[in-house]
Amino acid sequence: MPFGLIKYGFNKEYPARVDLPPACDLKDSYDVVIVGGGGHGCAAAYYLATEHGITDVAVLDKGYLGGGNTARNTAIIRANYLTPDGVNFYAESVGLYKELSNALDYNIMYSERGHLTLAHTDSAVRTMRWRAEVNKHLGVESELIFADEIARLCPTLDLSDDVRFPVLAALYHPPGSIARHDAVAWGYAAGAARHGVEFHQKTEVTGIVKEAGRVVAVETERGTVKCGQVIQAVAGSSSLVARMAGFKLPIRTIPLQACVSQPLKPFLDPIIVSGSLHAYVSQSARGELVMGGSTDPYPLYGTRSSLDFKEGLMAHMLELFPFLGEVKVLRQWAGMADMTPDFSPVMGETPVENYWLDAGWGTWGFKATPVCGKRMAETVATGRVPDILQPFRLSRFEEFDQVGEKGAASVGH
Ligand code: FAD
Ligand code: PYC
């Protein structure tokens, strides 16, 4: 990317880049149909084309590309999970993210900030130490730090003792990063389109046609499309689409809200997360504070914003950064989080032979976009689920073999 940027800077002209070819007719058949044009669907298409030479691929989205949770997330990327399976999986993603702007020739504004998960209770300190040890054992940079070091990394954080939940320690994860979420989807889509992959927006999949336990076509609002294989990557609609394919998922769909403040001068370098206060914040490149909390207290298919969320979150933010009292909230929104019982995703095989699942991304799937896309593409191309995805198989729920990430998934669910 730096070379591309320098070349661009010295150009005499700055022509607008057309990333996606114009919309085309939907063919009546493709080797692979990907349902869902979020970051995950676009990434899978990109890796199918670039790593496996599979280009007869259509990505179908009921709305616009990257308009689902990809557009709504707070863009935190990290690998400081709790289980070895989780740490290995997300660490591969962080590695891919670091090189992604160069690989896609598309600036995703990857910004390594360091990630601090605050511990306000003895049991939280224990969990942070546990995570730090598992992380280090697997080669992921994480350590437990205390007041002096926290103050050095984030001098504006209130570390006094006379508050409701004093900060006792923090899990410090230097590779923690943010990126431009839209650019991740657009960059993957543009890269895939250059290899001939088709993207069909405003094309809702309304049914899955099966014969003898195999999927043979998808029904869409623009007609029926035959297909060799299907990847389902619809995030907050996973249960609805899986039901069309004839199986049930152990998922509850719950809104997750977030908001941004007016732009402020840069004062916050690291990403700050507090599970006890149900609040997290980072400062974007344009100075806005990107803030969020835990999921809403009830399942719902809806993306409305609520005053409750904003009031609660702001009270907690002020406990961490009391000087923000006069700062205005600029925008608020929600996405639909597909929550699994163990706070880990579900990827790979389904009860339908050639129908592959990329689901259960709850509040944690943006960071997994590269690894999931790459490994799902490998699965479809080879017909074999790679080892790194095996722990996340759908059958783990009936085998009592869950990948428990509740303590590391996000801000305390
Ligand atoms: P999406 O981007 O939602 O794409 C799915 C697409 O499927 C959508 O575009 C939708 O239109 C389409 N679709 C649905 N049904 C159909 C149909 N029947 N036919 C055709 N198309 C269909 N994760 C992190 O790692 N870090 C974070 O900081 C983070 N913060 C978050 C904050 C919020 C407020 C929210 C809501 C989520 C957050 N997440 C975060 C989670 C993350 O956003 C998601 O897990 C991730 O974006 C999922 O990507 P996706 O491509 O699978 O889904
Ligand atoms: O997965 O780190 C995360 C996250 C933060 C906020 C929502 N998800």
Give residue 143's region: left, alpha or beta (phi > 0; psi -120 to 50).
beta
405 lines ligand 1 (CB under 6 A): no
The Cα-based distances of 84 to 70, 135, 159, 385 in angstroms read 26, 8, 32, 18
Confidence (pLDDT) at 13: 82
Query: For residue 289, what are the contacts with CB-CB under 8 A and spacing of at least 6?
Result: 260, 261, 264, 268, 281, 282, 283, 324, 327
Which structural domain range is residue 389 located in?
23-79+82-105+181-250+344-409
Mutate to test the pocket of ligand 1, among 363, 367, 405, 410 (most ligand atoms within 8 A of CB): 363
Which ligand has the minimum distance to the alpha carbon of residue 182? 1
Confidence (pLDDT) at 1: 56
Confidence (pLDDT) at 72: 98
Per-residue model confidence as pLDDT tens digits over 265-289:
999 999 999 988 999 999 999 999 9
In a domain, 317, yes or no: no
Q: How large is the angle between the packed helices 181-194 and 369-382, nearest 10 degrees?
A: 30
Percent with pLDDT over 70 in the chain: 99
142 lines ligand 2 (CB under 6 A): no
365 lines ligand 1 (CB under 6 A): yes
> What CATH number corresponds to the domain at position 372?
3.50.50.60
Q: Whose CA is nearest to atom 6 of ligand 2?
A: 410
CB 172 within 8 A of CB 143: yes
Confidence (pLDDT) at 96: 98
Per-residue model confidence as pLDDT tens digits over 31-52:
999 999 999 999 999 999 999 9
Dihedral over alpha carbons 224, 37, 385, 361 (to 10 degrees)? -120
Residue 322 alpha carbon to ligand 2 centre in Å: 23
Strand bridging mode 111-112 / 252-261: unpaired
Residue 369 alpha carbon to ligand 1 centre in Å: 10
- Total number of domains in the chain: 1
CA-CA distance, 386 to 392, in Å (whole number)? 11
Confidence (pLDDT) at 93: 98
Confidence (pLDDT) at 265: 97
CA-CA distance, 295 to 276, in Å (whole number)? 14
366 lines ligand 2 (CB under 6 A): no
In a domain, 212, yes or no: yes
61 lines ligand 1 (CB under 6 A): yes
Q: Under DSSP, is residue 353 helix (H, G, I), strand (E, B) or coil?
A: coil
Confidence (pLDDT) at 2: 63
In a domain, 288, yes or no: no
In a domain, 94, yes or no: yes
CA-CA distance, 121 to 168, in Å (whole number)? 7
In a domain, 405, yes or no: yes
CA-CA distance, 268 to 286, in Å (whole number)? 12
In a domain, 173, yes or no: no
Residue 169 alpha carbon to ligand 2 centre in Å: 20
Confidence (pLDDT) at 79: 98
Return the exposure string of 238-257: e unless at least 16 CB atoms fall within 10 Å of the residue's CB, then b: bbebbebbeeebbbbbbbbb
Q: Would the pTM count as exceeding 0.95?
A: yes
Query: What stretches in the chain show pLDDT beneath 70?
Result: 1-2, 412-413
201 lines ligand 1 (CB under 6 A): no
